[in-house]
Amino acid sequence: MLVVASSAVVTYFTLRHFNPPHVTTQQPISKEQPAPAPKEKTPDSQKPPAPAAPGLALPNATPIPARIVNSADDADLWKIANKSRAFANPRYQPSDLRIVSVPTLPGRGQDERSLRAVLMPELEKLVAAARAAGVTLRVGSGYRSYATQASLFASYVRRHGEAAASRFSSRPGHSEHQSGLAVDFAGADQTCWVDDCFERTAAGKWLAAHAHEYGFILRYPKGKESITGYQYEPWHFRYVGRELAGALYQSGLTMEEAWSYIEKAMIELKQRGTQ
């Protein structure tokens, strides 16, 4: 048994020496998956449109960006002051009042020659554009303090009675002049100064057609007396910025009429968490 076993072992190792294991030439199968074909980019024209930013859309007007109006902030550019809406601080005085660099009517005090700095660049452009068109504009009355308005309103009441005075003058704390954003314009002289005939002067016509291009609106238009609470004043303009001024001009709405649209746009802004 031992001899046979030894012979078998020798035979095995001999065969292993002269007959090496067979080496296959076939390549191993890769376990890696083929790379996916690159996806074609979707053309921008086929992408779904991004959600439109909330906007303020007045009737018949190009939509403009909406914004949050803080009614408690007396310095807000879209703040409304009228018979029913007073300043949060009755004795509010803008912190950025500056004496205007454009022509003014003679004999005006420092306050009446002052307006807020935020509108100065546009006021200067407006006056320059009018001059280029051959029209002279002057600031007749700008900022008016609470005390000045109180004295003025009281004098009108004594002369005309409170009901009549309220049609063309504001109670103290309710006047747009206190905002520093309202301007009573005049022409080269005092012809038709604070009079309805101002609408027929070169200055009045130019302002009616172009003031909105510089952010100013005709605040008390003809035919809207029951809405604004004041008689027609073709000389009285209010600065609200170019976008809102343009939209109001296109729509023909007053600030009071536009307020419901402004509130609706504000609600949408707040719902989206955007300001």
Residue 29 resides in a domain: no
Kindly report, residue by residue over 220-251, the tens digit of the pLDDT. Answer: 999 999 999 999 999 999 999 999 999 999 99
* Cα–Cα distance, 234 to 216 (Å, whole number): 12
Residue 31 has pLDDT above 70, yes or no: no
- What is the reported pLDDT for 189? 85
Residue 5 resides in a domain: no
Residues in CB range of 51: below 8 A, 6 or more apart: none
Q: What is the mean pLDDT of residues 184-200?
A: 95
Mean of the per-residue pLDDT values of the chain: 87
Kindly report, residue by residue over 169-178, the tens digit of the pLDDT. Answer: 999 999 999 9
Point out which residues pair with 97 in neighbouring strands.
116
Count how many domains the chain has.
1
Long-range contacts for 75-80 (Cβ within 8 Å, ≥24 apart)? 77/118, 77/181, 77/239, 77/240, 77/241, 78/240, 78/244, 78/255, 78/262, 79/179, 80/255, 80/256, 80/259
Active site residues: 233
For 157, phi then psi, to 5°, come to -65, -40
pLDDT band at 187 (very low <50, low <70, confident <90, very high): very high
Residue 215 resides in a domain: yes
Domain extent, residue 226, equals 55-91+109-143+179-272
Contact present, 152 and 168 (Cβ < 8 Å) = no
Residue 152 resides in a domain: no
Kindly report, residue by residue over 62-90, the tens digit of the pLDDT. Answer: 999 999 999 899 999 999 999 999 999 99
Point out which residues pair with 116 in neighbouring strands.
97
Residue 4 resides in a domain: no
Give the CATH number, domain containing residue 76.
3.30.1380.10
- What is the reported pLDDT for 7? 43
For 19, counting Cβ atoms within 10 Å of its Cβ (0-12 exposed, 13-18 middle, 19+ buried), the class is exposed
Contact present, 111 and 99 (Cβ < 8 Å) = no
Q: Is the dihedral of CA 219, 224, 229, 231 positive or negative?
A: positive
Residue 118 resides in a domain: yes
Q: For residues 46 and 144, which has the higher predicted lDDT (pLDDT)?
A: 144
* Cα–Cα distance, 81 to 239 (Å, whole number): 13
Residue 7 resides in a domain: no
For 214, counting Cβ atoms within 10 Å of its Cβ (0-12 exposed, 13-18 middle, 19+ buried), the class is buried
Residue 24 resides in a domain: no
pLDDT band at 272 (very low <50, low <70, confident <90, very high): confident
